[in-house]
Each structure stands twice: as C-alpha cells, then as structure tokens.
Structure 1
Amino acid sequence: MAAQDSSSAEIDTSLFITVSGPPGCGATTLCERLADAIGCPYVSGGDIFRELADDRGMTLNQLTAKADESDEIDRALDQRLQQIAEEWGMANKPFILESRLAGWLAGDRADLRIWLDAPETVRLERIDDRTETEAEMRVREVSEAGRYESYYEIDIGDRSFYDLHVNTARWSKAGVFRLVRAAIEEYDPELDEGAFTTPPMDI
C-alpha cells in the first residue's frame, strides 16, 4: 500500500493559527491548503476589505485612498478581525486568520503565529496576473505601514513575536505547506516553554 501523500493528508489539530505577510508572499495559497487539510474555517482580511469596498460601491484602490483620509475603514476592518480572533481564541477549535495584522490582532490568543515573506522581485512576479499593479502594491505597503504606526503605534516590521518565519521563495508551494504542516503536527503544548508575548494593540 502506498504511503499517503503528506500534502493531502488531513491534519489533526485544534490550533488557532495566524498567517501574515506582504502582498505576494503566498499567504492565500498556504491558508487555503491548511484550511482544507485541517477542515477548519479560514478568514482573510483581504476578503473582508473587499467586502467593505463592495458595500460602498468602490474599487480596492478607491477604498485604500479613502482609508488614507481617515481611520474609519481601517478601524472597522481591524475591529472585525479582532472580534473574530477573540471568538475563536475561546472556542478551542482549529481556525486560521490571515491578514497583515493577524498576529497583532489575535495577540496571545493565537497558538501559532506565522510570518511569510519573499524577495520583492519574486512577490512582484506573483502578483503580475492580478488587477493590482507593481506601483499600486508598493504604494499600498507604504500606506498600510504608515497607518499602522499612526493609528496603533505599532511597527509592522517588528516580527519578534512570530513563531515561524518562512521565505516562500526558497520552496515550492507544496514545500512551504509541508514545512508549516510539520510545525503544526510537531507542536506539543506540554513541551511548549513559552511563546513571545505579542505587543499590546489598542484599537
């Protein structure tokens, strides 16, 4: 009998996992694979942002521009994500939350906090078939970082509290999934000597 493919086998876990990273880092692909293997819900900050844009009859770029004008949009998005994190943090059931601020918003409720990244040239190639252009991606990254600093006094570049950092340009999509899968399956709360404390975030 052939061994089961580790990229498709189910993952038995009850962990609350956050996944964060810049545009083109591979977060969506990883989260979809994880959610399918774990059989758990997956919420993306990007999806909620798109819902906000649709509700207002605006494009993503228009909503981003409006978010630059005031804190209403960002705070509405972050409050919703934080509410979701609080609900699932107490549920003791597997769940995946993905957004640039997911690790911050979930705080110490999260069991495993993951940061994905890749060189800018690689990330630009990955978003080449999206509606967002290279210039728009760069503007969005700078804009978001500035807003996080202004609204919450947080440095998005502070990744000291993340449990796992992965350069997704070094492995295939399946390889990244297997790396994260191993971290999930090898996690034993009885052997856990302590995660880094997430800096406080007041929304």
Structure 2
Amino acid sequence: MVKIVFSGPPGSGKTTQAKRVAEYYGLKYFSAGSLFREYARRRGVSLEELSRVALEDPSIDLEIDRMTLETVRDNDDIVIDGHLAAWIVSDIVDLKIYVTAPLTLRILRVAGRDNASLSKALAETLIREYSQRRRFMEYYGIDIYDTSIFDLTINTKLIGVEEAFNIIKSTIDKILKEKHGSMSE
C-alpha cells in the first residue's frame, strides 16, 4: 500500500510524472486539477475566471480540497496530482514530491499543452498562481512557497521527462523497500 502526492506550479511537469508513476506502478491516479477544470467547464468559465471567482467564494476550493482528501483517505495505492494537494493530504501520504521549473519554461509548456498564445498562457498562469497562493494563505494559513513539507523536489529545467522519472522512481523504490521490509519484520 502506497500513497504518493505530486504538487507544483502549472507547466512544471507534475502531471506528466504523476501519470507515469501511476502507470508504472499500477496505481490509481487522481487529479485535483481535473476537478477544478471540470468545475470551470460546468460553470462555462475559463480557469482564469474561476480562479478570480474562487477568491471571493471559498466554497469552490473547500469542496475540491474535501474531495481530494476523501479520495486519498478512501484509496490505497494511489497517486494524487494537484497544485496544492500535498498540503491537503500531507499527513496521510507516504511520499510528497514537488515538481518545478522556471516561469518562462512553464509558460512555454502551458502554451503548447493548451494550444494557447504565450500572452494568454502567461496571463492565465500568473492569475492562477497568485489566486491560489492568496486563497491557500487565507483559507489554511499555509504559504505554498514554503516547500519544506516535501520529501523530494525536482526542477525540470535541465532534465528531461525520463531523467526526472528515474529520480522519482529511485525514491519510490526506496520507500517501497522500506515499507515492505518493516512490514515483514
């Protein structure tokens, strides 16, 4: 039984790595970001617009955070992916991984992923990041720039997807070995 959470800013590579880990180890995959995107889609607004609305309406984040926490509590062998997810599930996961990259690289990735202009990707990303930081501080008193809760931090600026995955895999293998070793003793 293992529970792993990936957090980090948009375009850092966290979703790519979370999905790879889930597939490689045969774990369930859960995306808090998908819940937020689905919420935006149902309301007929962009992520940028929903981020602005969420500044005034805490029920949006609180509902997504509640669903994320319940999903992790109710499932073993799961990988969770979300910008803020690690802080929400910190006490009930085995491994917390923070994936990051410089803003300019992340904007290029977001623009390519979303088939958006660089200016649109920049505006949306900055608004989302500002909004998330402010909301998380207001709702939970947590500064998302304090990454001291993470067991592993990876900057994907200079390493590719495969190299990052190998670093993550090495860490997971160590944790699994320790868990299984202590379980058999």
What TM-score, normalized to structure 2?
A: 0.88
2:100 to 117, 124, 131: 117
RMSD, aligned α-carbons: 1.7
CA displacement, residues 154-185 of structure 1 (integer Å, 9 cap, x when unaligned): 11111112100111112110111111001111
| 8 Å contact from structure 2 (residues 51, 127) kept in 1 | no
Provide structure 1 residue ranges, at least 5 long, that are not aligned to the other structure.
1-13, 193-203
2:179 to 180, 183, 189: 189
Which aligned pairs between 1:56-75 and structure 2 lie closer than 5 A? 56-75=43-62
Instruction: Give, in whole Å, the separation in 2 of the partners of 1:64 and 1:103.
Output: 19
Letter in 1 for 2:38: E
CA displacement, residues 65-122 of structure 1 (integer Å, 9 cap, x when unaligned): 211222121111111111112212xxxx311011122211112210000011111121
Match of 1:152 in 2: 140
| 8 Å contact from structure 2 (residues 30, 79) kept in 1 | yes
Instruction: Give, in whole Å, the separation in 2 of the partners of 1:23 and 1:72.
Output: 22
| 8 Å contact from structure 1 (residues 116, 166) kept in 2 | yes
CA displacement, residues 27-68 of structure 1 (integer Å, 9 cap, x when unaligned): 111111111111121111110111112232333223222112
Provide structure 2 residue ranges, at least 5 long, that are not aligned to the other structure.
none
Percent identical pairs in the alignment equals 34
| 8 Å contact from structure 1 (residues 25, 118) kept in 2 | yes
Letter in 1 for 2:17: L
What TM-score, normalized to structure 1?
A: 0.80
2:165 to 162, 171, 177: 177
1:127 to 104, 110, 125: 110
Match of 2:72 in 1: 85
| 8 Å contact from structure 2 (residues 27, 79) kept in 1 | yes
Shift of 1:190: 7.4
1:47 to 29, 34, 41: 34
| 8 Å contact from structure 1 (residues 85, 105) kept in 2 | no
Alignment coverage as a number of residue pairs: 175
Which of 156-165 and 52-61 deviates more?
52-61
Match of 1:11 in 2: none
Match of 1:140 in 2: 128
Instruction: Give, in whole Å, the separation in 1 of the partners of 2:45 and 2:101.
Output: 30
Instruction: Give, in whole Å, the separation in 2 of the partners of 1:191 and 1:101.
Output: 31
